[in-house]
Chain A
């Protein structure tokens, strides 16, 4: 059983739409990472959060530790937001990191 579940797996939307990507996890964590990977590109850290909410430009990440759930929101989406978004959870019990399988986002102009 995958301990980190992301939804949806794939998402296609029109430019300007509000986007939500969800991440649920079953392990105890110290923090949660949201990562972005453009096609053929490297992996970039968007957020690291352990509580509440963080905002960076049009991106907003929230986490509810009690419910073991995090969301990544993109406001006023743009074709350049097209990428794979990955949720990653460092388990507190050991040194391992658990990755979600990613959400492939495609924003149409």
Chain B
């Protein structure tokens, strides 16, 4: 299996609190992505990174920020969590080009 792990796997947090999700890869891949998956919407891109300190917004980036200070780690932060951010979050690498795609196991986040 590809070395891509997400942490935490499950989290319950209160509205208004900050939350950071971590994606860690050992594949040395340039591209990393954060998606959220909700019923009826499929996978929606939040942010992605194409290198250290190089990030860009996806289609549902409002309320989220990201950072990538080193190749292996891509952090997703909810500055002030809201109930609409309750979702399953997936990190992925290697989705562009002609290499196999790899996804993290997912993080189930509940904002109460």
Q: Does B111 contact A (CB under 8 A)?
A: no
8 Å CB contact of A48 from B48, B101, B104: B101
Q: Do B100 and A86 have beta carbons less than 8 Å apart? A: no
8 Å CB contact of A33 from B56, B95, B106: B95
**Considering only CB atoms and an 8 Å cut-off, how many residues of chain A contact the other chain?**
20
Q: Do B42 and A48 have beta carbons less than 8 Å apart? A: no
Bound complex: CA A33 to CA B101 (Å)? 7
What number of residue pairs across chains A and B have CB atoms under 8 A from each other? 54
8 Å CB contact of B103 from A44, A50, A90, A102: A44
Q: Does B74 contact A (CB under 8 A)?
A: no
- Tell me the dominant secondary structure on chain A's binding face: strand
A97 with B102: in contact, given A43-B90, A86-B42, A102-B42 (CB under 8 Å)?
Answer: no
Interface residue ranges, A against B (CB under 8 Å): 30-31, 33, 35, 42-45, 48, 50, 86, 88, 90, 95-97, 99-102
8 Å CB contact of B98 from A30, A45, A88, A99: A30
**Considering only CB atoms and an 8 Å cut-off, how many residues of chain B contact the other chain?**
23
8 Å CB contact of B96 from A35, A86, A95: A95
Q: Do B102 and A90 have beta carbons less than 8 Å apart? A: no
Q: Does B64 contact A (CB under 8 A)?
A: no
Q: Do A48 and B33 have beta carbons less than 8 Å apart? A: no
Contacts of B43 in A (CB 8 A): 43, 86, 99
